[in-house]
Amino acid sequence: MAKIIPFKAVRPPAHVAHLVASRSYVSYKPVDLKRKLIENPFSFIHIINPEFGQAKRTRPNTIARFEKVKHRYEEFCSEGILVSDEIAAFYIYRQVTPIGVFTGIICGVSIDDYFAGRIKIHEHTITLREEIFSKYLDTCGFNAEPVLLTYRENNAEIKTLIGARTTARPECDFTTTDRHRHQLWAIREPAIVSKIQKSFAGIDDLYIADGHHRMASSALLGQKKRAAADNYDPAALYNYTLAMIMPAEQLEIQPFHRLITIGCPRDEAELLEQLSADFVITKENTRIVPDEKRLWGMRIASGWYSLRLKQSHHSNSKSEQLDAMILTRKILEPVYGITDQKTDKRIRFIPGNESLTTFENSIDSGSCSALFTLHKVDAEELFAVADAEEVMPPKSTWIAPKLRSGLTIMQLN
């Protein structure tokens, strides 16, 4: 049973929404970030980076920095760049991209569902990051980046309710320079809000597709707020996390490929000999990005090879059945000695939506030694791992849509 609530979003008026909403702060390269901050005074990243252009700066991830973020946010509100809705609503968001059309509902989800295991995870979080982001939320008093949640069944009533609203003109409709169109509708009518809530109450489990740390941090903040209050208010928004929910059939799931740096030099003849114990190795004339499971591509200085397991692989563990885990067990650990992919500097993760040409060139130039390409994880594998209370290897999935910050902000105070 999934509990969701409408909320009064703080959001940019339609005429500046295209200028305010931004990609995640960490997704910008430094040069692009600087140019964006110089050229666009309305961008939400001015809130996240409130000291741009100032000589004296606070230390990152400190209360002092978070207070600066809060102050910049309040300035955006006072200037009318961000405005609070007067009536709580569910927000239907559609993103139209070259790789697909994604439609979901932006709402608040209960942290109690997370504690009870009804919002399921497939990766571990880092306690320090949870603590930092929890302090950030508490100090700033707002949440601007939705967690992306998904579910198995494509609920017919939810689909109908959302579909009926999206036939109307959007309240917000703009296209960004990456050729992604963003559309937003608000559902405020109490009867329809109630129908949507009842429909989601019929869904047993939600699954985190993207945003494990954001979910965990919001839950941690709620715990602390409850513990500090004699009689906490169950309707307070610190009991909820900002989320966008969409059915799994709409997600675009791509793999992360593995690039091995020059820190792991290997004689190629010796490498091929070692891998031949577990894999049928075939020299290929073209780039290999696997279109089926139990197949991997390998690019080394002598070119591309396909790797196929000689024997079928069975395991009672759902995570051990993943191609990324088999690569870890059969190649990364025994061949390259990479046992902790989260911290080992000799491995890089390449999102499946990126061109591989640059990384092939890095192998030819000698700055990297090998590239391993993988087939994508499907939604049922993600569900199976989460249902078994297991976790995937680091960077097993690159999932779209990537949501914009600052489009619908949940005010926590």
Q: Tell me how far apart the alpha carbons of residues 359 and 301 are, in angstroms, rounded to a whole number.
A: 11
Task: Say what the pLDDT of residue 264 is.
Answer: 67
Cβ-count burial of 363 within 10 angstroms (0-12 exposed, 13-18 middle, 19+ buried)?
A: buried
Which of 194, 79, 69 lies closest to 143, judged by CA? 69
pLDDT digit string (tens) for 372-410? 999 999 999 999 999 999 999 999 999 999 999 999 999
CATH of domain 4-252+400-411: 3.90.1530.10
Judge whether 4-252+400-411 and 256-396 match in fold: no
Flag the least confident range among 190-199, 266-275, 351-360, 374-383. Answer: 266-275
Question: Mean of the pLDDT values across residues 46-75?
Answer: 94
Task: Say what the pLDDT of residue 28 is.
Answer: 86
pLDDT digit string (tens) for 106-132? 999 999 999 999 999 999 898 999 999
Question: Mean of the pLDDT values across residues 218-240?
Answer: 92
CB neighbour burial string for 172-199, b if at least 16 within 10 angstroms, e if fewer: bebeeeeebebbbbbbeeeeebebbbeb
User: What residues are paired with 143 via a beta bridge?
Assistant: 410
Q: Tell me how far apart the alpha carbons of residues 239 and 235 are, in angstroms, rounded to a whole number.
A: 7
**What architecture is domain 256-396?**
2-Layer Sandwich (3.30)
Q: Residue 327 belongs to what H/E stretch?
A: helix 323-327
Which of 377, 160, 398 lies closest to 256, judged by CA? 398
pLDDT digit string (tens) for 317-339? 999 999 999 999 999 999 999 99
Contact of 253 with 377, CB cutoff 8 Å: yes
- Domain map of the chain by residue range? 4-252+400-411, 256-396
